Structure 1
């Protein structure tokens, strides 16, 4: 599932962050980064999706 989100993040970075985090601070920060430069938006989106901060529960 994460590979699909990463592909979405490369095409449209804010959507990738939204699918991972919802409408929080990371989403709005990514909007700003994407407006300022497309590549920083992609880097941030991929980082948000790829990080493992223990919030996911693996069954």
Structure 2
């Protein structure tokens, strides 16, 4: 996901925050919280969605630069967001060579 997808995600967040949260976190606690906040008021849903997007892209950038993320972002329950979209978690383990 590059700059274009980040801009598209921001535009989607402006119109419907739960769809943007679903795009980065999947179906889970963060989506449920965002739906509830959006139903309580349009602004709290936006604040929550933009916070999740900030954490997601910040962690992606830190991983891209080679940093290791050891702390958990408060209020974020999705592992996808906590890991910056990295499916292997906080790092990968190099498999030993069989030869």
1:18 to 22, 31, 44: 22
Q: Can you give the 5+ residue segments of structure 2 that lack an aligned partner in the other structure?
A: 61-82, 87-99
**What do you get for the CA RMSD once the two structures are aligned?**
1.3
| Other-structure match for 1:39 | 43
Structure 2 residue aligned with 1:27: 31
1:4 is aligned to 2:5: no
Aligned residue for 1:23, secondary structure, equals coil
Q: 1:16-50, CA deviations, whole angstroms, 9 ceiling, x for partnerless residues?
A: 10001000100000000000000100111111112
Question: Which protein has greater RCO, CA pairs closer than 8 Å, 6+ apart?
Answer: 1
More helix by share: 1
TM-score, normalised by the number of residues in structure 1: 0.85
Deviation of the 1:53 alpha carbon: 3.6
